[in-house]
Structure 1
Amino acid sequence: MSAFATLTSRTVVLRERNIDTDQIIPARYLTTTERRGLGRYAFNDWRTLADGSPNPEFPFNRAENMGARILVAGRNFGCGSSREHAPWALTDLGLRAVISTEIADIFRSNALKNGLLPIVLDADIVDELLERPGIELSIDVASRSVTLPDGRRVQFPLDAFAQTCLLEGVDQLGYLLKQTPAIQRYEESAHAR
């Protein structure tokens, strides 16, 4: 997982509410534990037409959204099952942050463990972002803020441990492994007593 301190990117917008993990990554693609390559299946049933060709109306298929790293979505993003493949698919698609008024708890936890920042903002701000696809936002993990195009800075909640892991580019296990020298010193002193 790469460190995540700041990000400036255009947004891609999915106005739909209740986007569940089966819409993010359909169950038929959960046959792997490999994270790479899942991005091509992200939102597969919306991205493709019945004949398998790309749906030209779907935001991720539109040229103006290529390279966007911030997804703005309708309320209750990531609901449904607890599949970790959902944040894997989104990060493989190139996303680093998802902004909504509500993000499902299990999805939120899985996202943070995989370097995808789930940001919950007030409805009036998210509604504004949903109406302005393609605008540029700046995210600062250290200050827990999003800077809007007009210069307003909006704070978002993020617990201190998740923030530390994002800034250091480690997951929970990686964080613990970085503490190995301190753990060994403690064990040696405890054994000596």
Structure 2
Amino acid sequence: MALDPVNLAQGPDVAGVDEVGRGPLAGPVVAAAVILDPERPIEGLKDSKALSPARRQALDALIRERALAWSIAVCGPAEIDALNILQASLLAMGRAVETLAVVPALALVDGNRCPEAMPCPARAVVGGDKTVAAISAASIIAKVHRDALMVALDAEYPGYGLAGHKGYPTPAHLEALARLGPSPCHRMSFAPVRRVACQAS
């Protein structure tokens, strides 16, 4: 009989793993791993995309305070361009688990693939960010961390509106990209960025 990943995730030795930032044209992909403490439950955990920014911030603080362990890892634009976005996402997730202060007995990874290099057994959970609390927690702290990085990149590379759209291909971002050309934080392997770069050369 198949084991239920939702029930598996209740143990203190199970890490939830998720990433954010696969779709943007700029900035890093960010992954997080979280081992929740069953003795210190956190109400309201769900997929980060279903939460308001203020609610994400509040839950981010609670997760960092109450979790048994948490870790965040990043793959930047250069790694994304060298590896492709899928492999960079898997690499970031593997790094997040590897840098946990507690080695988990099992990692539950959102999606349909697990990183190959992991310090523990892993299981993919499709839609896990909606059904497994530890994966929801990972999605929240990864999202909050990435949003903060994009605000910092907006100050470093003004004009693109990175603090607002967080690097996603909005009309405003595409217009700024066409007008200014790619910045060092853009992903040159992504078609809209590559197209602008080719036109400028």
Is the structural similarity TM-score above 0.5?
Answer: no
User: Which protein has the bigger helix share?
Assistant: 2
